[in-house]
Amino acid sequence: MVKVRLASRILEANEKIAERNRKFFQDKGIFVINLMSSPGSGKTSILERTISRLSGETPLAVIEGDIYTSQDAERIEQKGAPVVQINTSGACHLDAHMVEEALGDLDLDKIKLLVIENVGNLVCPAEFDLGEDAKVAVLSTTEGNDKPMKYPLVFRQSQAVLVNKIDLLAHTDFDLDVLRRDVHLINPELKIFEVSARTNEGFEPWCQWLAEQVRNKAAAV
Question: Binding mask 185-204 vs a second copy (x if CB under 8 A, - otherwise)?
Answer: -------------x------
Least Cβ distance, residue 150 to a second copy (angstroms): 5
Residue 158: strand pairing partners: 135
For strands 31-36 and 134-140, give the pairing: parallel
Q: How many CA atoms lie within 13 A of 4 on its CB side?
A: 1
User: Is residue 59 within the footprint of a second copy (CB under 8 A)?
Assistant: no
CA separation, residue 142 to residues 99, 109, 139, 178 (Å): 31, 39, 9, 15
The type of residue at 122 is: L
Helical (H) or strand (E) element with 163: strand 158-164
CA-CA distance, 134 to 53, in Å (whole number)? 20
User: In the range 18-47, which residues lie near a second copy by CB under 8 A?
Assistant: 38-41
Torsion sign (Cα): 141, 122, 111, 70: negative
Instruction: Kindly state the number of chain residues that form the binding site for a second copy, as judged by CB under 8 A.
Output: 38
**Is the Cβ of residue 120 or residue 131 nearer to a second copy in the bound state?**
120
The string of DSSP letters for 72-121 reads: HHHHHHHTT--EEEEE-TT-SS--HHHHHHHHTTS--TT-SEEEEE--S-
Contact region with a second copy (CB under 8 A), list: 22-30, 55-63, 114-122, 205-213 = 114-122
Scanning residues 120 to 179, which ones bind a second copy (CB under 8 A)? Answer: 120-124, 140, 142-144, 146-147, 149-153, 165, 167-168, 171, 173
Distance of closest approach, residue 188 Cβ to a second copy, in angstroms: 19
Binding mask 73-112 for a second copy (x = CB under 8 A): -----------------x-x--------------------
User: Counting contacts by CB under 8 A, is residue 14 touching a second copy?
Assistant: no
List contacts with a second copy (CB under 8 A): 2-3, 6, 10, 38-41, 66-69, 71, 90, 92, 119-124, 140, 142-144, 146-147, 149-153, 165, 167-168, 171, 173, 198
